[in-house]
Amino acid sequence: MLTSPELFASASPTQPALGSGWGASNVSSRIFIDCGALRHNAAVFRAMVGEGCRLGAVVKADAYGHGLAHVLPALHPAVDALYVIAPGDAVRIRAWESTYHRPPLPLLVLGVLDAQEAVELARVGSAAVVGDEGWRTWLGPLRAAGLRLSVHVHIDTGLGREGFLPEDVPDALAGIADASDVLNVVGVLTHFADTEDVTEQTYARRQLARFREGEASLRALVGDRPLERHTAASAPSMVLPESRLDVVRVGISIYGLWPSRETRISARLVKGELPELRPVLSWRVRSQHIKDLPAGSYVGYGCTHRCRDRTRVAVLPVGYHDGYPRALSNRAHVLVEGRRCPVLGRVMMNHLIVDVTGVPGQPEQVEATLLGRCGGEELSADDLAGWAGTINYEIVARLPAHLPRITVSES
């Protein structure tokens, strides 16, 4: 039911030009990626970490749900390194670079690998993390392929996830120096456990001390050579300057989102002012149907909402299959023409029903902003996360690949 395409073309100036974004299909929500905001956030981090430290961006989980292919054009030229979890993503990035004639950036696969993947990464010139004993199985296949893989050693300093405990380094990595024909140890890293949920960094400082122990043990094994040292994700990059070392691995905040409320408070204390991060992602959907329901009508599965008065509802073709959390049932708002419109009843697999009674002019179709700015209003990933009882990371990272993503430049 496409009633009025001009409606969307003449959206408010704070919204991207939708004429190009919506295309023929009217039955799907759209994610808009603001590459200007990405560039801005990268510049904020570059200024913050200064000249002595490189800026790396984490693009795991399809760039935190933003879409790897959609962030690379703006992000790739703005950073010094990229980090992924899945080896396939490193291969995709190399293919993208070659297609668009971009110089290859240093890439590091943070996740676990089998021997075949290790060979593939060596082939495309990506580095890998050695974080468990599996590295020994890589040696034969790398030798057979005549390839050498650059590796960073992960030290588990208190997260309990990947990596070697500092005291286990000598045994777990014994012999790695003799494998230097196929493994080139070029870096050492760790990952913090408790930088986001606190406003003091006692545990992180303990982790840094453990990191130095692990680094010393590693140096004893591999001899005198330059090792790139890195520990800081978004929050520690901002709130714990001594964690920045040679390169920072900025994930969530490159996309303009704060790791937590506590990080925001601490960042203001550390820097004296609040760094301005700009959210990169907006999410919009056109209504599939609008109708008036008489007073007393129920809305949605379970009849959890009952209309007190006559209510004009818009049915939106988006649901939990599309990453809109069911936990937002009867809690969230969407924005229509700069007004907050409550979600009525339960979020369904492919549908959402909102109250558009207050939208003037009784339009036959509306565009709803599920996440992002609309007029003078904004719904942030933090708002959705708060209503859904989760964190902004989960809201964006679970936006599925099937949603069309459109690159725009607003900021």
Ligand X SMILES: *Cc1c(COP(=O)(O)O)cnc(C)c1O
Q: Which residues are catalytic?
A: 60, 301
User: 108 in helix, strand or coil?
Assistant: strand
| # residues contacting ligand X (CB under 6 A) | 13
H-helix segments, 100-168: 115-124, 139-145
Q: Pick the stretch among 175-183, 212-220, 243-251, 317-325 that binds ligand X (CB under 6 A).
A: 243-251
Q: What is the DSSP string of 211-233?
A: HHHHHHHHHHHH-S---EEE---
Least Å from the CB of residue 250 to ligand X: 5
C-alpha span between 69 and 11 (Å, rounded): 26
Enumerate residues 174-213 that contact ligand X by CB under 6 A. 191
- What is d(CA 383, CA 282) in angstroms, rounded to the nearest whole number? 13
259 binds ligand X (CB under 6 A): yes
Question: Which range of residues in 24-32, 41-49, 247-255, 329-337 is near ligand X by CB under 6 A?
Answer: 247-255
Tell me if 264 contacts ligand X by CB under 6 A.
no
d(C-alpha 171, C-alpha 250), whole Å: 31
Is 233 a binder of ligand X (CB under 6 A)? yes
Note whether 250 binds ligand X by CB under 6 A: yes
* Whole-number Å distance between alpha carbons of 264 and 365: 39
Q: Which stretch binds ligand X (CB under 6 A): 23-31, 67-75, 249-257, 274-282?
A: 249-257
When the beta carbons of 232 and 352 are compared against ligand X, the nearer one is 232
Shortest reach from residue 197's CB to ligand X, in Å: 12
Q: Which spans in 86-176 are helix H? A: 87-99, 115-124, 139-145, 169-172
One character per residue 94-133, x = contact with ligand X (rule: CB under 6 A) = ----------------x-----------------------
Angle, vertex CA 89, rays to CA 105 and CA 86, nearest 5: 120
Q: Within 13 A of 182's CA, how many CA atoms are on the CB side?
A: 20
Q: What are phi and psi of 283, to 5 degrees?
A: -140, 120
| Structural contact between residues 317 and 299, judged by C-beta atoms closer than 8 angstroms | no
Q: Which residue number is nearest to ligand X in terms of Cβ?
A: 251
Which is closer to ligand X, CB of 33 or CB of 235? 235
251 lies in the binding site for ligand X (CB under 6 A) = yes
Chain-centroid distance of CA 13 in Å reads 26
Rule CB under 6 A: is residue 234 a binding residue for ligand X? yes
Report in angstroms how near the CB of residue 221 gets to ligand X at its nearest: 22
Is residue 58 close enough to count as binding ligand X by CB under 6 A? yes
DSSP SS3 for 344: coil
Task: List contacts with ligand X (CB under 6 A).
Answer: 58, 60, 110, 191, 233-235, 249-253, 259
